[in-house]
Structure 1
Amino acid sequence: MAKPRRRQAGEGGISEYMTKAGPRFLIKFTAQRADGTKRVVLKRGFKTRKDAAAALRAEVRKTDVGEWVEPSKQRLDAYLAEWIQGQRLSPATLASYRKNIRLHVDPHLGAQPVARLTGPAVDAWMRRLEESGRADGQGGLSPRTVRYVFTILRSALSDAVKQGRLSVNPTDRSTPPSPSEARPPEMQAWTAAELGRFLGWAEAYDRDFAMGWRLLAATGMRRGEALALRWRDVDLDAGRLAVRRSVGVVKTKGAGEQLVEGPTKRGQSRVVDLDAGTVAALRAYRAARGLLALDLVRDSALVLSNSDGTHRHPERFSRRFTGQVVQARKALGEERLPMIRLHDLRHTHATLLLADGVPVKVVSERLGHASATITLTVYQHVHPGMGRQAADRFAALLEG
């Protein structure tokens, strides 16, 4: 049997050593650090000389082309704390990232050195979150939440690769919940009759909040966009409004919460045309608000503000809507008004327009989507009966 060829300088070396489990092999090579100094690297535990030789070739190739990364001894929790400080994100998104790292990453993976994190370890972590990841101890997290937390970790470790702290991203070798598994809860939409029924009831029950419900249903605005709308953004003569900003809740551990205005979800403004009925309702609403205080109708004033002119709390606004839907169902009959969430008014707006044949691009622009493709993907459902209408219309075309 021929002896292994003696390696040349710079090729590294392989040595055999004994363990209780039998012979093992180690590799030894010289690598250059980022500061230009060199160090000798040892890696142990290879079961065969062939495995050791393959690993050695890979490491030497990395050193030759400048891809070798010195393993970091920094813990993951320390790295994530450093990483989050450098992110250019909205206050609400930063607060969400910090909360999820604190609750779902650090307790499970925080003590791990960044360089020793593996794909299987990430997979095991996600399975634990699905089984028992709730912070209150009441079971596991939804696939949607697990995928969201995974994307935070993936982004952080991708930056570690860019910065030369890791040679590969271990999340590239893991399997998070799929997009279909992480699909958001199914949205509900009212029919035109159901929406009209509710708005009529709300106008009689609470005219102040009824304006908010009508505005959301008539424009498809997001909750935060409506609550950040100011009178200077509304042109009643032209029958349109400009969506320029959004308000959200930023919660910080130990510091409570605050309402923060920022750009829209896409960071872009858009103009939305208003129907005559909504314009008339806004005129009457502004006149009524002016009787309370002139400050409430100045150009800089919020359209849907509290009585003191401050922002309405987005989460309380949603809860108020839910409470009013419950009351309306009691008054009108539960079978005549399905239960929906506040965000479903946006869904209702899009669904009614699409069902009436309004072009997808027009609906997409009203909603502020990045493209019509997103609109088609999100609003691909149909109301009961819409399929039958399409079939009947096709038959009518054939019959001439």
Structure 2
Amino acid sequence: MNIKKVIKKDGTIVYRTNIYLGIDSLTGKQARKVVTAKSEKMCNIKANQAINEFEKQGNTVRKVSIDNFEDMAMMWFENYKLSVKPRTVQIMQTRLNNYVLPALGAYRIDKVNSILLQQIVNQWALNASQPLNGAYHRPRGKGKDFKIYFNIVERIFKHALSLGLVKDNPCLNVIVPKVRLESTEKKIKHLTVDQLRVFFVYAESLPKERYTTELMLALCRLLVASGLRIGEAVSLSWSDIDLETGAVSVSKTTHRAIIQSTPKTNKSNRVVLIDSKAIAVLKHWRIFQARHFLSIGKGKHDLVFPGITGKVLDYQIIRPVLLKWFKACNLPQVGFHGFRHSHASLLLNAGVPYKEIQERLGHASIKMTMDIYSHLETDNQIRAVERFESIANF
């Protein structure tokens, strides 16, 4: 080892050596390190420490610190985020934070065994099977998706196995229990025809020529006329809407004011026709929008519903305005998604077939449409009884 005495500009003396560590197992190249110390002896000690550390890290200078299961989970999660949409990332983050990491995060990954995992899965299943006492939502810690939580753990261990961080996958010997789960009654928030009439009469009575008011009027009218998800509506460009035929082409969505190039599912790619009232409102909005951006020194905007400064609209910002309008009308707080449910309810009670409603809403399957909305066919049920009475003359 060649240790050199070096006199620095300020006159102080240090000892320095450039040591050869070996061939880096990750890059296949020579690994070297410069070591500096105040004495020749200390320089020699630090050089030997660097060589030992290199060997402990698997003959690489790129240290990969995996101290516990949480470290491994985060490494897997970083890889997972590259191949899914932001909303899916958000859901996975919630599952990790609420279930997987609280149960396993602190354990050393090489100490997690099948017995421990079996106990954790059993507890998840037990929590999920607890009575809900009429609640519409499951409380935190009692999620029904315990099979999914365990699947996440299994995927993390597969990743660890592929990296050589564990010798085997302890998930393989775990039996996921089968338990009877109490179903939560899904309360579909929607507005009736009369309630929608009250809402739009109020909205149209508000002072005009205000950007937020005009935007909300056009946005709510489009939502109830098309059944679009709020993210789909906010991502629309004027080129997606034919204001002569009323055809709205859906091919994008937004998440946290970021437009995604693909919608929620493959079935979400669709063309939806809207009524003449909605077309008229959108035409008015387009003229108002063009005047607004011209007044602030900008040209015509490509987006149908941009924010007041021209950026992609974060619809959470205008949600308080919607809730304020609902409160003023003494209507239930159904949110933006309530207009989508209202659209489906109106079509069902008008006798529109489920298949057509599925296509308009962009559901992946007709079963999904029927599962969500079948109980909203109150008018159809009444008409069915009336028809039966008219022919049941026996």
- The alignment's TM-score, normalised by the length of structure 2, stands at 0.67
Q: Of the candidates 350, 353, 356, which is equivalent to residue 347 of structure 2?
A: 353
Check if 1:221 corresponds to 2:228: yes
Deviation at 1:82, TM superposition (A): 2.4
Is contact 1:100–1:149 with CA below 8 Å preserved after alignment? no
Alignment RMSD (CA, Å): 3.2
Look up the equivalent residue of 1:275 and give its one-letter code: D
Deviation at 1:282, TM superposition (A): 0.7
Deviates more, 1:305-314 or 1:349-358: 305-314
Q: Of the candidates 49, 52, 69, which is equivalent to residue 76 of structure 1?
A: 69
Check if 1:90 corresponds to 2:88: no
Deviation at 1:240, TM superposition (A): 0.7
Deviation at 1:230, TM superposition (A): 1.1
Q: Of the candidates 345, 362, 384, which is equivalent to residue 368 of structure 1?
A: 362
Question: Judging changes above 3 Å, is the alpha-carbon distance between structure 1 residues 271 and 399 closer, same or farther for their aligned structure 2 residues?
Answer: farther
Deviation at 1:127, TM superposition (A): 5.4
Question: Which residue in the other structure is 1:261 paired with?
Answer: 260
Paired residues for 1:21-170 under 5 Å: 75-87=68-80, 88-112=83-107, 113=109, 114-116=112-114, 117-125=116-124, 140-141=139-140, 143=142, 146-148=143-145, 151-158=148-155, 160=157, 165-166=168-169, 168-169=171-172
Check if 1:392 corresponds to 2:386: yes
In the aligned structure 2, how far is the partner of 1:327 from the partner of 1:247? 29
Is contact 2:348–2:377 with CA below 8 Å preserved after alignment? no
Deviation at 1:174, TM superposition (A): 3.5
Deviation at 1:269, TM superposition (A): 1.6
In the aligned structure 2, how far is the partner of 1:303 from the partner of 1:248? 16
Check if 1:292 corresponds to 2:292: yes
Question: Judging changes above 3 Å, is the alpha-carbon distance between structure 1 residues 231 and 296 closer, same or farther for their aligned structure 2 residues?
Answer: farther
Deviation at 1:307, TM superposition (A): 1.6
Look up the equivalent residue of 1:306 and give its one-letter code: G
In the aligned structure 2, how far is the partner of 1:395 from the partner of 1:296? 64
Total equivalences in the alignment: 301
In the aligned structure 2, how far is the partner of 1:296 from the partner of 1:185? 45
Look up the equivalent residue of 1:279 and give its one-letter code: I
State the Cα deviation string for residues 126-178 of structure 1 (Å, max 9, x = none). Answer: 657999xxxxxxx95174xx235752442441564596742644675235783
Structure 1: segments with no counterpart, 5+ residues? 1-72, 132-138, 250-257, 330-336
Question: Judging changes above 3 Å, is the alpha-carbon distance between structure 1 residues 388 and 152 closer, same or farther for their aligned structure 2 residues?
Answer: same
Check if 1:273 corresponds to 2:273: yes
Deviation at 1:325, TM superposition (A): 0.4
In the aligned structure 2, how far is the partner of 1:75 from the partner of 1:129? 27
Paired residues for 1:331-350 under 5 Å: 337-350=331-344
Check if 1:209 corresponds to 2:219: no
State the Cα deviation string for residues 76-129 of structure 1 (Å, max 9, x = none). Answer: 323322221222211232133234423442233213444344233223256579
- Matched residues, percent identical? 24
Is contact 1:231–1:303 with CA below 8 Å preserved after alignment? yes
Question: Which residue in the other structure is 1:13 paired with?
Answer: none
Question: Which residue in the other structure is 1:46 paired with?
Answer: none
In the aligned structure 2, how far is the partner of 1:343 from the partner of 1:189? 8
Check if 1:236 corresponds to 2:243: yes
In the aligned structure 2, how far is the partner of 1:168 from the partner of 1:387? 49
In the aligned structure 2, how far is the partner of 1:92 from the partner of 1:272? 24
In the aligned structure 1, how far is the partner of 2:174 from the partner of 2:349? 42
Question: Judging changes above 3 Å, is the alpha-carbon distance between structure 1 residues 158 and 101 closer, same or farther for their aligned structure 2 residues?
Answer: closer
In the aligned structure 1, how far is the partner of 2:337 from the partner of 2:249? 20
SS of the aligned residue for 1:247 comes to: strand
In the aligned structure 1, how far is the partner of 2:200 from the partner of 2:146? 38
Question: Which residue in the other structure is 1:306 paired with?
Answer: 307
SS of the aligned residue for 2:144 comes to: helix
In the aligned structure 1, how far is the partner of 2:141 from the partner of 2:339? 24
Structure 2: segments with no counterpart, 5+ residues? 1-65, 131-137, 163-167, 207-212
Question: Which residue in the other structure is 2:35 paired with?
Answer: none
